[in-house]
Amino acid sequence: MQRSQDWTSLRREFPTLDAKTYLNSCSLGLLSRRTRAAMDRFMDQWTELGAAAWYSDWMNEVAELRQGFASVINAGPDEIAIMPNISVALTSIASSLQLGEGDNVVTTALDFPTVPHQFHAKGGMGVETRVIQPRDKVEVDLEQFESAIDEHTKLVATSHVYFTSGFIQDVAAVTEIAHRHDTLAFIDDYQSTGQVPIDVKAQGIDMLASGGLKWLLGGTGVAYLYVRRDLIDQLEPTVTGWFGNRDQFEFNPNEMVFKEDAGRFEMGTPSVAAIFAGAEGLRIVNEIGPEAIRERTSELTQLLVSRLREEGFTLRCPEDAQRHASITMVEMEDPARMVEELMKRDFILDFRPGAVRISPYFYNTPDDIQAVVAAMTDVRNALEL
């Protein structure tokens, strides 16, 4: 499949690459020429039509966005809510769980902090947040989920790919454990959708959130919430708004009747600029396909890992290449200094406490990988980092 991809012409879609070696897609995916054109279209419609653009074009773009995300994860568009970010998506789900005194939620120390924060903030309601501490900085053992969950667990909330280590977690297994304990699982797929294939039906996922910012090439302000069809009518959010109302355009203040599909989790008017960008990003990802993208990024990641090891760097990443997504952490004392020095040489990457983070995407090349490792080796030798 990959052999038929013309990666060089795809690369030309991303003008940033003309001037920079960009290796920070797990923070922000690049803006394509197509996405810029889509956003221009939005502005032209706003100028020419004003509010009439909602009916002529914008509603349709929202529908395409919903379908675009549904296609990437193998869901139906009726199972997708459009959200502004992951934190709001999780807030909506958390508000639907009727959490109270004595309940607990299980998550891990490797998950993005917005997940535990959501539930720590409910400590005053008597909700306990159980943060599993991993045995290393890379992954959590499935048995740790097994022993953290009990009969008071209302939710297991964890990532498909850990932002901290690039580890691809077996979310089907986590979901199965949750179900065996008669509870639900919420998957934070933000570091995964696009770069690692996911099939919510095959993997039995209950709820999943992701967004445009990173691997879906849609920029800021657009995120997605999937809720399994047969679960939707069991969840009534208490944080809500008129977009969640079944009869939204009847403007009835006297009652709240929720939409029957996942639209019930939506709250208010979305950012249409973000929707145009998000929809175009999804078109690009769907056209290439997450399987082909994974094949490409996996090759780049394996090259990166072996070149870094040859140069004597210490990595914090999964040993099994099958479990390693396109995020590689390189441990060092002063990662900020390394990133700053690399920036002077036109490399864009990032750091987290104690490690430089390198995250190539399909638009990167083996040459980019060779170049960044050579530059890191030079900087380390020159500055003794």
In the complex, the smallest distance separating the C-beta of residue 210 from ligand PLP, rounded to whole angstroms, is 9
Binding flag, residue 110, ligand PLP (CB under 6 A): no
Q: Is 211 left (phi over 0), alpha (psi -120 to 50) or beta?
A: beta
Residue with tokens 């056209």: 287
In the complex, the smallest distance separating the C-beta of residue 273 from ligand PLP, rounded to whole angstroms, is 17
Q: Is 258 left (phi over 0), alpha (psi -120 to 50) or beta?
A: beta
For the chain, what is the total number of helices (H) and then of strands (E)?
14, 13
Binding flag, residue 25, ligand PLP (CB under 6 A): no
- N-terminal to C-terminal alpha carbon distance within the chain: 41
In the complex, the smallest distance separating the C-beta of residue 87 from ligand PLP, rounded to whole angstroms, is 3
For ligand PLP, the closer CB: 211 or 218: 211
In this structure, are residues 199 and 74 in contact, taking their beta carbons and an 8 Å threshold?
Answer: yes
Size of the site for ligand PLP (CB under 6 A): 12
In the complex, the smallest distance separating the C-beta of residue 259 from ligand PLP, rounded to whole angstroms, is 23
**Orientation of helix 33-49 relative to helix 272-288, angle to 10°:** 150
Parallel, antiparallel or unpaired: strands 355-358 and 350-352: antiparallel
Binding flag, residue 211, ligand PLP (CB under 6 A): yes
Binding flag, residue 226, ligand PLP (CB under 6 A): no
Pick the binder of ligand PLP from 114, 144, 298, 365 (CB under 6 A). Answer: 114
Q: How far is C-alpha 54 from the chain's CA centre?
A: 28
In the complex, the smallest distance separating the C-beta of residue 26 from ligand PLP, rounded to whole angstroms, is 7
For ligand PLP, the closer CB: 14 or 112: 112
Residue with tokens 């953290």: 148
Binding flag, residue 223, ligand PLP (CB under 6 A): yes
In this structure, are residues 178 and 184 in contact, taking their beta carbons and an 8 Å threshold?
Answer: yes
In the complex, the smallest distance separating the C-beta of residue 114 from ligand PLP, rounded to whole angstroms, is 5
What is the b/e burial string over 131-168, where b = at least 16 CB atoms within 10 angstroms of the residue's CB? bbebeebbbbeeebbeebbeeebbbbbbbbbbbbbbbb
* Side chain identity, residue 307: R
In this structure, are residues 329 and 348 in contact, taking their beta carbons and an 8 Å threshold?
Answer: no
Binding flag, residue 139, ligand PLP (CB under 6 A): no
Q: Which residue is nearest to ligand PLP (CB)?
A: 85
Binding flag, residue 42, ligand PLP (CB under 6 A): no
**Binding range to ligand PLP, per CB under 6 A, among 186-194, 268-276, 365-373, 377-385:** 186-194
Residue 218 sits at the vertex; the CA angle it makes with 323 and 224, to the nearest 5 degrees, is: 70
For ligand PLP, the closer CB: 113 or 366: 113
Pick the binder of ligand PLP from 14, 69, 112, 276 (CB under 6 A). Answer: 112
In the complex, the smallest distance separating the C-beta of residue 27 from ligand PLP, rounded to whole angstroms, is 7
User: Sign of the CA dihedral 76, 80, 82, 86?
Assistant: negative
Binding flag, residue 188, ligand PLP (CB under 6 A): yes
In this structure, are residues 308 and 328 in contact, taking their beta carbons and an 8 Å threshold?
Answer: yes
Binding flag, residue 261, ligand PLP (CB under 6 A): no
For ligand PLP, the closer CB: 89 or 330: 89
For ligand PLP, the closer CB: 110 or 279: 110
Binding flag, residue 159, ligand PLP (CB under 6 A): yes
3-state secondary structure of 171: helix
Residues 69-108 vs ligand PLP: string with x where CB under 6 A? ----------------xxx---------------------
> Under the rule (CB under 6 A), what is the footprint of ligand PLP?
85-87, 112, 114, 159, 163, 188, 190-191, 211, 223
